[in-house]
Chains A and B, each alone.
Chain A
């Protein structure tokens, strides 16, 4: 028990003293996961919109596949991107393995299915009657789409934040693709894994508290947006 209390005390000291290594790792985590979230949003939300508004063969099956991929293990997403980016892989010439850019690709791949799925849920949450009403008022189909998207924007944003949460808290892909290189690809989760294995409990708890603090800020931001 003392060990845990000591851990929290030392963690507080590390955070309050603005330990440069802790700050650097935190900044890198945020940069990588925010970039991955922005890129994934730009890809996933239009895909979600396309699937929702268009009718095509195999739509139900595609949605099932996307929903299955919510459970994509982070290590498998990481391994997949590792094999693609490895020097003997198809994109090996880019030299992106063990770089922050590679990690962004990995996290983007990981969260796209979740964000497509959340976009679909958000769009189908808008009442069918609203759509009919808009069209009966003489709106073109693109105006109708715009109205539905506007109506569901907070739910879509909720999906974006969920994606960010998955990106910043995952350790499998970050470890395999990034390699946990100090000062280069070490992020909060891989640092926690390393420090725990090295027995530096206080440092791990400090990093864990920072990760949770980021999650809290994001959640509060979401709450404030939804309140409006």
Chain B
């Protein structure tokens, strides 16, 4: 009996070490391989930079595609955490990541005004689209987005079983764009739209889940084009409205700044900005998804930078907010 009593915890510990050992061994040999360096050098620890980003950039696979190219070029370990734009900005404001890539101009401006970031650059755009059931029960096809929202609200209040709208409801970039449209349509979001009835459903989830929810409920929703194309196969939703200046969706990259941020991380974050705005990567962004989805998910900024009120060409060189002046 005493023997088994002693062997049990020992076995537990042993198995932990064995699995742990296998894991670390696996780690050191597998990470360098995709970068084409066959000799494992566990002692030379690479710099890690953490990118906090929005679900629409990550879930479409764009960043997974760009990550190895960047890592090879700069011999760095790029770590990516994907959250809604609101959460990503919160993480960056606390100084817990090194790079921010998001799509919410108003939240980005507040972030920069707070002195938390430098070298704001736009690197890609696409359009938000309003998707809904194929039979278009609200009859909004072809309307201006603002008018379509007005119609959705009127018809949804009258008949929530027939017409409903799913909102991200999570303070994400897409949610922020939705609020902008409600405002342009003449509504106060918190008093007129939220709690205005069962027709307005707040999902509180990522874009993919929100699309799936809208599909199950045969409701309308606002989505970025990239995520919709990536998920289209699993959805019973079709694009209803695809045009309107208010639907423009611009993705930006920002170097996160805190007074204690190591210079090396700022330099590497700036490298990432310059990488994204380089002609080579701009071309790659424009090609991404064409093969799989039949069209590109994102348009590179370089083609028509002048159309946007946003810097998308100058090299990211500033290393602190004070060096701006």
Contacts and interface: CB of A to CB of B under 8 A. Distances in A.
B19 to A, nearest CB: 5
B206 A197 contact: yes
Counting chain B residues whose Cβ lies within 8 A of the other chain, the interface size class is 35 or more
Most buried by A among B15, B30, B79: B79
Interface string B191-223: 000000000000001101100100000000000
B8 A27 contact: no
B23 A27 contact: yes
Contacts of A24: 26, 30
Interface stretch (A66-74, A111-119, A166-174, A178-186): A178-186
B20 A225 contact: no
19 contacts: A20-B30, A24-B30, A27-B22, A27-B26, A30-B19, A34-B12, A87-B258, A92-B95, A179-B79, A180-B82, A181-B79, A182-B64, A197-B206, A197-B208, A197-B209, A198-B230, A199-B234, A225-B4, A228-B1
A205 B141 CA distance: 38
B5 A87 contact: no
Most buried by A among B12, B22, B206: B12
Given A88-B94, A181-B80, A34 B15 contact: yes
A30 B17 CA distance: 11
A181 B79 CA distance: 6
A59 interface: no
B96 A86 contact: yes
B8 A157 contact: yes
Interface in A195-212: 197-199
B16 A35 contact: yes
Contact of A98 (B26, B30, B50): B50
Contacts of B208: 197-199
Interface string A31-62: 10011001000000000000000000000000
B317 interface: no
Q: Interface SS of chain B: helix, strand, loop or mixed? A: helix
Interface of B: 1, 4-5, 8, 12-13, 15-16, 19-20, 22-23, 26, 30-31, 50, 52, 55, 59, 64, 79-83, 94-97, 205-206, 208-209, 212, 230-231, 233-234, 258, 260
Given A24-B26, A34-B15, A35-B20, 13 more contacts: A31-B19, A86-B94, A98-B79, A179-B52, A181-B79, A197-B206, A197-B209, A198-B59, A198-B230, A198-B231, A225-B4, A228-B1, A228-B4
Q: Interface SS of chain A: helix, strand, loop or mixed? A: helix
Contacts of B59: 194, 197-198
Nearest to B234: A199
A20 B260 CA distance: 38
A44 to B, nearest CB: 14
* In the A-B complex, the 5 residue pairs with the closest CB atoms: A179-B81, A87-B95, A27-B23, A34-B16, A197-B208
A31 to B, nearest CB: 5
Contacts of A150: 5
A199 B212 contact: yes
A94 to B, nearest CB: 12
Nearest to B82: A180
A63 B124 CA distance: 56
Most buried by A among B23, B208, B231: B23
A150 B5 CA distance: 8
A184 B80 CA distance: 9
A225 B12 CA distance: 12
Interface in A78-135: 86-88, 92, 97-98
A153 B260 CA distance: 49
A49 B4 CA distance: 21
B231 A199 contact: yes
